[in-house]
Chain A
Amino acid sequence: MSRKTGRRLFWAVSMFLCLAGFLLSLLLGPVRTTPGDLARFIQNPDRVRAAIFIDLRLSRAVLAFLVGAALALSGAILQGYFRNPMADPFVVGVSSGASLGAVLATALGFEAAVFGFSGPGLLAFLFGLGIVSIVYALSLRRGGFKIETILLTGIAAGALASALTTFFLFMRSDSYDQAVFWLLGSFQLAEWGQAATIAPWVVLCLLASVWLARDMDLLALGDETAQALGSPVRRVRKAFLVMSALLAALSVAVSGIIGFVGLVVPHWVRLLIGPGHRTLFVASALAGGTFLLYCDLLARNLLPAELPIGVITAAVGAPFFIYLLHKKR
Chain B
Amino acid sequence: MSILEVSGLSAGYDGGFVVHDVSLAVEAGEFVAILGRNGSGKSTLIKAVQNLLGNVHGQVLCGGEDVFRMGPRRVAAKIAYVPQMAEPVFEYAVEEIVLMGRFARQGRFEKSSAGDAAAVAEAMRLTDVAGMREKRLSQLSGGERQRVFIARALAQDTPLLLLDEPSSHLDISYQVEIYGILKGLQKDKGKAVVVAEHNVNLAAAYARRLVFLKDGGIAAEGTPAETVTAANVLAIFGADVDIRPNTRSGLPEISLAGGRVDE
Is there contact, CB below 8 Å, between A217 and B108? no
Is there contact, CB below 8 Å, between A222 and B83? yes
Is there contact, CB below 8 Å, between B52 and A224? yes
> Could you tell me the distance in whole angstroms from the C-beta of B76 to the nearest C-beta in chain A?
3
Q: Which of A219-241 contact B (CB under 8 A)?
A: 220-222, 224-225, 227-233
Which of the segments A36-44, A51-59, A270-278 contacts the partner chain?
A: A270-278
A275 contacts which chain B residues (CB < 8 A)? Answer: 90-92, 96
B1 contacts which chain A residues (CB < 8 A)? Answer: none
Q: Which residue of B lies closest to A217 (CB)?
A: B100
Is there contact, CB below 8 Å, between B47 and A276? no
Please tell me if A218 contacts chain B, counting CB pairs below 8 Å: yes
Q: Which residue of A lies closest to B79 (CB)?
A: A228
> Could you tell me the distance in whole angstroms from the C-beta of A238 to the nearest C-beta in chain B?
15
B101 contacts which chain A residues (CB < 8 A)? Answer: 229
A2 contacts which chain B residues (CB < 8 A)? Answer: 134
| A interface majority secondary structure | loop
Is there contact, CB below 8 Å, between A225 and B72? no
Is there contact, CB below 8 Å, between B88 and A220? yes
Please tell me if B73 contacts chain A, counting CB pairs below 8 Å: yes
Is there contact, CB below 8 Å, between B93 and A274? yes
A211 contacts which chain B residues (CB < 8 A)? Answer: 108-109
B100 touches which of A84, A221, A232 (Cβ 8 Å):
A221
> Could you tell me the distance in whole angstroms from the C-beta of A85 to the nearest C-beta in chain B?
8
Contact string against A for B residues 227-262, beta-carbon threshold 8 Å, 1 for contact and 0 otherwise: 000000000000000000000000000000000000
How far, in whole Å, are A224 and B162 apart by their CA atoms in the complex?
13
Is there contact, CB below 8 Å, between B108 and A212? yes
Is there contact, CB below 8 Å, between B75 and A228? yes
Q: Which residue of A lies closest to B105 (CB)?
A: A230
A231 touches which of B89, B103, B109 (Cβ 8 Å):
B103
Please tell me if B81 contacts chain A, counting CB pairs below 8 Å: yes
A83 contacts which chain B residues (CB < 8 A)? Answer: 89-90
Please tell me if A214 contacts chain B, counting CB pairs below 8 Å: yes
> Could you tell me the distance in whole angstroms from the C-beta of A71 to the nearest C-beta in chain B?
20
Is there contact, CB below 8 Å, between A224 and B47? yes
Number of interface residues of A (CB under 8 A): 27
Is there contact, CB below 8 Å, between B83 and A229? no
How far, in whole Å, are A128 and B47 apart by their CA atoms in the complex?
35
Is there contact, CB below 8 Å, between B77 and A230? yes
How far, in whole Å, are A220 and B97 apart by their CA atoms in the complex?
10
How far, in whole Å, are A2 and B136 apart by their CA atoms in the complex?
12
A228 touches which of B52, B86, B92, B108 (Cβ 8 Å):
B52
Please tell me if B156 contacts chain A, counting CB pairs below 8 Å: yes
B86 touches which of A84, A222, A229 (Cβ 8 Å):
A222
> Could you tell me the distance in whole angstroms from the C-beta of B198 to the nearest C-beta in chain A?
20
Q: Which residue of A lies closest to B92 (CB)?
A: A275
A225 contacts which chain B residues (CB < 8 A)? Answer: 81, 83, 86
B72 touches which of A212, A217, A221, A233 (Cβ 8 Å):
A233
Is there contact, CB below 8 Å, between A228 and B81? yes
B71 contacts which chain A residues (CB < 8 A)? Answer: 232
Q: Which of A6-32 contact B (CB under 8 A)?
A: none
B106 contacts which chain A residues (CB < 8 A)? Answer: 214
Please tell me if B6 contacts chain A, counting CB pairs below 8 Å: no
Is there contact, CB below 8 Å, between A230 and B92? no
Is there contact, CB below 8 Å, between A231 and B86? no
Is there contact, CB below 8 Å, between B76 and A228? yes
Chain A residues in the interface with B (C-beta under 8 A): 2-3, 83-85, 210-212, 214, 217-218, 220-222, 224-225, 227-233, 270, 274-276
26 A-B residue pairs with Cβ-Cβ distance under 8 Å, sorted by A, are A3-B93, A211-B108, A212-B108, A214-B103, A214-B106, A217-B96, A218-B100, A218-B103, A220-B89, A220-B90, A220-B92, A222-B83, A222-B86, A225-B83, A227-B52, A228-B52, A228-B75, A228-B76, A228-B83, A229-B76, A230-B73, A230-B77, A274-B91, A274-B96, A276-B92, A276-B96
Please give me the 3 A-B residue pairs with the lowest Cβ-Cβ distance, nearest first. A230-B104, A230-B76, A275-B90
Supply 16 further A-B pairs (C-beta < 8 A) apart from A211-B109, A229-B104, A232-B72.
A2-B134, A212-B108, A214-B100, A217-B96, A218-B103, A220-B88, A224-B47, A228-B79, A229-B152, A229-B156, A230-B72, A230-B76, A270-B91, A274-B91, A274-B92, A276-B92
Chain B residues in the interface with A (C-beta under 8 A): 47, 50, 52, 71-73, 75-77, 79-81, 83, 86, 88-93, 96-97, 100-101, 103-104, 106, 108-109, 134, 152, 156
